[in-house]
């Protein structure tokens, strides 16, 4: 008796292989077009994660808040799903967090400073410099560490500031801003305009470097300096803007448009 493989002509087996391949490809396309579904314990069995509670799905939509730019998950009808508690929001990575943590803080300060020579101070809390500075030009200089542990990074920023005096007249001042960063503990020492403050790195990614006087507790903010590779606040990513609004004390913009950049030589 001939085997099945022997009974099927060569051209017939090729047709079946192509047909199976086409069906598999079509199935993958259809599945990729469907909205994401949380299938953890669809019938109510098993626990939810911290910050979650079980709800019954009735219309295929989850009843939970989501962070900005986070696609909402769907759920299977007539089944249970794990939803974030009412005071929490679903982050893009699936975790339930308080709203101010919708952007995961980054601490890549060393990588940011090493890869960018020119930085611009886009925002600063009013109480940092104790005067109304409306414009600054800054240039960043990187110096590698010299100690055995090599955990201290030092950089200097020369700042040209246009400050508002008490006599309602504008004057130009040149000052040098020095910052010593401890990359192991994510903190920084800032000296500018005859003041000495200890700051920490609140957030650092490829677009911005945000320094704060402290990590503020929930419901409060701290004084900040917002550095970036871009010359305007508009060039900040939404993540950097979000962190600035959630953690910093009303940083006012000292650079609004490119034509308003300080003109000095």
The residues spanned by each domain of the chain are 52-101, 109-256
- Highest mean pLDDT pick, 194-198, 208-212, 253-257: 208-212
pLDDT tens digits, one per residue of 66-89: 999 998 888 888 889 999 999 999
Confidence (pLDDT) at 264: 38
* In the predicted structure, residue 90 carries a pLDDT above the cut 90: yes
Confidence (pLDDT) at 130: 58
pLDDT tens digits, one per residue of 99-132: 999 999 987 666 676 666 667 778 888 777 655 5
Cα–Cα distance for residue pair 28/34, rounded to 1 Å: 10
pTM of whole model > 0.75? Answer: no
Q: Tell which residue, 41, 264, 234, has the closest CA to residue 159.
A: 264
CATH match for 109-256 among 3.20.190.10, 2.40.50.180, 3.40.50.300, 2.40.128.20: 2.40.128.20
Confidence (pLDDT) at 10: 47
Report, as an integer, the average pLDDT of 22-42.
52
Q: Tell which residue, 240, 231, 211, has the closest CA to residue 223.
A: 211
Report, as an integer, the average pLDDT of 237-252.
88
The band of 145, judged by pLDDT with boundaries at 50, 70 and 90, is very low
Average pLDDT, the chain: 69
């Amino acid at each position: 008796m001939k085997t099945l493989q022997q009974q099927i002509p060569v051209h017939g087996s090729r047709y079946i292989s192509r047909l199976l391949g086409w069906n598999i490809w079509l199935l993958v396309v259809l599945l990729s077009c469907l909205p994401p579904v949380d299938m953890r314990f669809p019938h109510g069995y098993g626990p939810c994660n911290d910050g979650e509670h079980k709800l019954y799905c009735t219309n295929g939509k989850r009843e939970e808040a989501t962070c900005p730019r986070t696609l909402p998950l769907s759920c299977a009808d007539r089944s249970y799903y794990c939803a974030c508690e009412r005071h929490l929001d679903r982050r893009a990575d699936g975790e339930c967090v308080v709203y101010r943590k919708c952007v995961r803080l980054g601490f890549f300060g060393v990588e940011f400073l090493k890869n960018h020579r020119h930085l611009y101070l886009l925002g600063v809390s009013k109480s940092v410099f104790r005067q109304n500075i409306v414009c600054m030009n800054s240039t960043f200089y990187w110096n590698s560490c010299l100690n055995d542990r090599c955990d201290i990074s030092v950089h200097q920023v020369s700042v040209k500031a246009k400050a508002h005096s008490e006599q309602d007249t504008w004057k130009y001042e040149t000052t040098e801003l020095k910052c010593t960063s401890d990359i192991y503990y994510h903190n920084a020492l800032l000296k500018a305009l005859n003041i000495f403050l200890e700051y920490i790195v609140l957030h650092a990614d490829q677009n911005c470097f945000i320094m704060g006087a402290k990590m503020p507790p929930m419901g409060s903010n701290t004084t900040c300096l917002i550095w970036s590779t871009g010359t305007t606040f508009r060039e900040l990513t939404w993540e950097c803007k979000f962190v600035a609004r959630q953690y910093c004390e009303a940083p006012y913009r000292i650079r609004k448009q490119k034509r308003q950049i300080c003109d000095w030589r």
